[in-house]
Structures are given as structure tokens and as C-alpha cells.
Amino acid sequence: MAHVGDVELEQVTRDVERALREPDLGQLTRVLAPLPVPEVVGVLERLGRRDGAVAYRLLPKDVALEVFEGLDPALQGDLVHGLQDEEVAQVFARLSPDDRVGLLDELPASVASRLLRGLAPRERELTAVVLGYPAGSLGRRMSPGYITLHPEMSVSAALHRVRSRLDDAETVYTLPVVDDERRLVGVVSLRDLMRAEGTERAVGELMQPPYAALATADAETAARRCADLKLLALLVVDEEGRLVGILTVDDALRILEDAESEDQARSAGSEPLRRPYLSTPVRTLVRSRVVWLLVLAVGATLTVQVLEVFEATLSQMVVLSVFIPLLIGTGGNTGNQAAATLTRALALDDVSPRDALRVVAREVRTGLSLGLILGGVGFAVTSLFYGASVGAVVGLTLLAICTLAATVGGVMPLVARTLHVDPAVFSNPFITTFVDATGLIIYFLIARVVLGL
């Protein structure tokens, strides 16, 4: 089927909404039937809870499961509320254990318990394994569905085992090798097994040292490692080295996407939506932003206090007020650039809190260089219109503010990591507020000295 572009997807969504309003379920089925699964997911992400449930019910059963798996957990939870219990139970039973856990986190406890009770004993056991780990841990995002091999197995026996258990595994391209106590001893790829087919070699001769992470490790850190090492799957073990699960590359990329969305939201002073924008209720949009706005409003009172303290200085030379937006804006931007760079470096493990002194040294030099450039331009332009003395105040202030902002912006993420706080929280909101207040103090102090106020 042909791919549907953004413009066409908007038109399809309008056609679906028109069919729902009339209502014309036959037309709705005709609109949805030719669409590939990703485009159906895109349409459902733009519909409300009730309309989404109606459209979903008209999908063929095999397509419906794929569509459900493609939705964000929050939207899956919305959809569950609009479906009948029997429909929900059928879809829930066909999900993989890790996807079930993501959905369960979005549902009321009573609904979650009812769905768990309806599972077959084996599926309930696999789901319980994932549920047993704390939120945010790798164990919570891993899949307990995998195929294990033993070192002494022959290649033919190993391939037979893989073929007989295809439906039980999240992936067959990376095959963990364990001993009799399920301790991870190696890993072998399906490609190597197939290359050795027809030989008398044992799995132990083909296996490589495994890449593994503890189930209690941070999920984002483990996903980053999986992506950096370009692994198809990262093996998950317990404290004794026993294999408990597997994190596939697609799940790792989903974790990183969620983390990136969360960092972007918090660095901009809001909470992550955890669902597509068009399907997010307005009250949720308000709730995600209002707390941060209140916090920033309180922080902005520091700037007001500074202006009150230096009110006499402003009254003596009103022209100084013209440059306030330029100076605090430049300072905030400089600090946020440094914070974004260090937050990214922390995520990639390029730096750690132990590198604080080296970071300070680099950011002081960077901020000083930026300040010399911007301050020089500011001095030259301002001197043409307001005289050399005012130009000197603006130029020196830009030099000082850029140096301070870059240093603070570089250190704040390291402080956040030390305090076990999300570094993104320390980006735009708090750095901007801090630099605004301190920048004004620096500005007026320099003005008093240079202009003799």
C-alpha cells in the first residue's frame, strides 16, 4: 500500500471525523480499510477517546492488534475505556509482556487487576516478572520472551530449538547462551548459527562475550548503551548473573525517544505530555505548564527586586533601561546553550560530575571568548548612538554576563546529576531566572563605576 503523506493524513482524518459525525460506519470502514498500520495509528492519535474507540472497533482483528501496539501507552489506556471488556481482554492477551506492563501503568488498579486475572497462567507469570521491577528500571522495560541455548548444544539442535520457539521470542537474531543455572555465559547470532549449519560444531565454539546490564539499572542508561554499541538486543541479568530478559533495539529507541521528549519539555519549562499533542486534552496541556509558570513567576520577582534596588541609578540615566532586554536575553541564551551541551554530554557519558573543574575551565574560556566577541560588537554599535561611556558599560556587561552564564549553565547539569535530579530541569527555567537577576546586578554595578552614578 502507498504511503500517506502529512497532507493526505490530515484529509483522511477529516474524512473519518465526517463519517463519525453523520454517522456513516460503512464510509468509515471504506476510509480506514486501505490505510497501512502506521497511518491508522496516526489517525487514531488525532481523534478523541470516544471517536477513537468507534474507529478502532471497525478494524479487522489482525490489523487491530498491530494498531494497538503502535499507540502510546497513554492512548492505549484511553482506548481501553472505550472498548468492551471482551475486546480489551482479547487485545491484552495478545500483547507482549513488556507492552502489557506499559498499558497497565496507565490503567486504574481495578481494571489492571481484572485484566491480569484474565490472562493464561504462563502469560500472567511473564507479565508479573516485568511488573516486579521498579518504574524507570531496565527490568520494567525488558521482554521476558527469549530463546536460550547451551554451550554444549550442537548447531543443528540449536537451530531446531529456534525454529520450534519462534512464537515465544521477542527476537531470534541475538541468542543468549546460559549454563545449567541460567547464568549468562555468552551470546551467539542467528547468522553465525546458520553459517555453521551442517557442521558438528557446538554453540560454545561460536558464542561471543555477551553485553549485559542489570535489571535494576536505569532504563535510559541501558538503552543509551544499546544504541551506542549498535546492538540488536541487550541482555538483562539479575545480581547473580542469571538471565531474566532482553531489551531489543526497537524498545531501546522507544526509551530514548521518551527520554528526549521529557528533556525537551522540562528544559522549556513544562512537563512531558506522554501522548500526541492533538489527542491531549486542554486541561492536561494547562496542567503540564501552569506549575512551571508559577515557579518561574516567583523566580522573576528577583529581577523586580533588583530593579527596585537600582531604581535611583535608572532615574539618573534612563537610557540604561533600553539595554536591559538585550543583556538578560543574551545571558539567558548563553547559559541555556551551555546547559544543553552539558546535558547532552551527560546523557552520552562524555562527562561526569567528577569532571566539574575541567568543565568550569572550558566554559569560562568559552564564555569569555563569546563575551569578547559580543561585547566588542555591543561597544561599537552602542558608542555610535549613545557615546563611548554607555558603549563601555554595555560591552563590559556582555563580557561579564557571557562568562558567568556559560559557567553556570555548564555546572548546573553536573550539580543536578550529583543530586540525582533530571539535568534538563536545571536548563532554561532556573538558569534564565538566575542569569536575569545576577546579570542586572552586574549591569548596574558596572554602570555606577563607569558612569560615576
The CB density around residue 450, as the number of other CB atoms within 10 Å, is: 18
Distance (Å, rounded) from C-alpha 165 to C-alpha 323?
A: 70
Q: Do you know the residue count of the chain?
A: 453
Is residue 400 within 8 Å of 446, Cβ to Cβ?
yes
List per-residue pLDDT tens for the chain, 453 residues long: 344 555 577 788 888 888 878 777 778 788 888 888 888 888 888 887 777 777 887 788 778 888 888 888 878 887 777 776 666 777 777 788 878 887 777 777 767 777 777 788 888 888 888 888 888 899 988 988 899 999 999 999 999 999 998 887 888 899 999 999 999 999 999 999 999 988 889 999 999 999 999 999 999 889 988 988 889 999 999 999 999 999 999 899 888 888 877 777 666 666 666 666 666 777 777 776 677 667 767 766 767 777 677 777 767 677 888 888 888 889 888 988 898 888 878 877 788 888 999 999 999 999 999 999 999 999 999 999 888 999 999 999 999 999 999 999 899 888 888 887 777 666 666 777 788 888 888 998 999 899 887
pLDDT of 308: 72
The CB density around residue 126, as the number of other CB atoms within 10 Å, is: 21
Q: What dotted CATH number matches 281-451? A: 1.10.357.20
pLDDT of 405: 92
Please state the domain extents for the chain.
6-136, 155-263, 281-451
Enter the pTM of the model: 0.63
Closest CA to 222 of 231, 213, 211: 213
Q: What dotted CATH number matches 6-136? A: 1.25.60.10
pLDDT of 148: 93
CATH superfamily, domain 155-263, is CBS-domain (3.10.580.10)
Q: Is there a common fold for 155-263 and 281-451?
A: no
pLDDT of 6: 54
pLDDT of 1: 39
Longest dimension (CA), the chain: 93
pLDDT of 99: 80
